[in-house]
Amino acid sequence: MEKKLIYEGKAKCIYEIIGRENIYLQEFKDDATAFNGEKKQSVAGKGALNNSISAILFEYLRSKGVNSHFIERVSDTGMLVRPLKIIKVEVVCRNIAAGSLVRKFGFSEAAELSKPLIEYYYKSDEFGDPLFTLAHIEEMKIANVNEMKKIDAVTLEVNLHLKKFFSDHGIKLVDFKLEFGYDSNGEIVLADEISPDTCRLWDLESGKKLDKDNFRFGLGNIAETYVEILDKIRK
């Protein structure tokens, strides 16, 4: 497969596949980063684990009618995806208080929220991905109100499906980050990845953290916990 690198991020590379139109290759790297790249480490096998987990979750969402850029997993670390024009908004959906909700807003750790809480973050390494509002999004002409309503609706639908999926496999979905983009028809679809890098996942019974918080705060080996997630969701 002849390919040309068109984008490299902290955790993934995107390649154009020479001779194939409207198909990109998304390759997952073994790099682990936290705190906007301030903490970095290479973790053997992490890319393959995130690729496998993301593929399973994208396939599950597709079975529920949720449209994404995902086409198919084609290698240990790679999946074929549709090209998208990425919307510069990172959407976080929270079910349980953790992370910045506790640090910045005084929520009690592990408190159940009365309903899913959606936050928007400006997708910008330069400015540190700051929290921002719908008013900012409109003023910056990133997306309009109707487009953000569509994004909110899809986010809540994804939350509904993934909460059940993870619960059925012994995992609690605490919160997660989604990204979206416009496809060639101008439709807004799910992008990026869905993995322990982008979700907070706790063991349903023990409360053990199974996600990137293990790397962020030195709580344990993320490769081992990612394997644990993959084993659970494959059952």
List 36's β-bridge partners, or say none.
none
Residue 49 predicted with pLDDT over 90: yes
pLDDT in tens, 202-211: 999 999 999 8
CA distance 140 to 122: 10
Q: What is the largest CA-CA distance in the chain?
A: 53
- The predicted-structure confidence for 182-234, as pLDDT tens digits, reads as follows 999 999 999 999 999 999 999 999 999 998 887 776 666 888 999 999 999 99
86: left (phi over 0), alpha (psi -120 to 50) or beta: beta
Lowest mean pLDDT among 22-26, 119-123, 154-158, 221-225: 221-225
User: Does pLDDT of 42 surpass 90?
Assistant: no
Average pLDDT taken over every residue of the chain: 94
Task: Quote the pLDDT of residue 218.
Answer: 65
**Where residue 38 falls among pLDDT bands split at 50, 70, 90?**
low
| Domains contained in the chain, CATH given | 3-81 (3.30.200.20), 85-220 (3.30.470.20)
Q: What is the pLDDT of residues 133-169, one digit of tens each?
A: 999 999 999 999 999 999 999 999 999 999 999 999 9
pLDDT at 203 (0 to 100): 95
With a CB cutoff of 8 Å and minimum separation 6, the contacts of 165 are 57, 60, 233
Average pLDDT over residues 107-130: 97
| Residue 232 exposed, middle or buried by CB count within 10 Å (0-12, 13-18, 19+) | middle
How far apart are the C-alpha atoms of 225 and 53, rounded to whole Å? 12
- Mean pLDDT, range 52-57, rounded to an integer: 99
Model pLDDT, residue 36? 63
pLDDT at 191: 99
211: how many CB neighbours lie within 10 A of its CB?
A: 25
> Please, which pLDDT band fits residue 37 given cuts at 50, 70 and 90?
low
The residues near 147 (Cβ < 8 Å, ≥ 6 apart) are 87, 188
Q: For the range 26-35, what are the long-range contacts, defined as Cβ-Cβ under 8 Å and sequence gap of 24 or more?
A: 26/78, 26/79, 26/80, 26/81, 26/193, 27/77, 27/78, 28/54, 28/77, 28/78, 28/193, 29/77, 32/197, 32/212, 32/215, 32/222, 34/212, 34/215, 34/216, 35/216
Contact 68, 61 (CB under 8 A): yes
Confidence of residue 1 (pLDDT cuts 50, 70, 90): confident
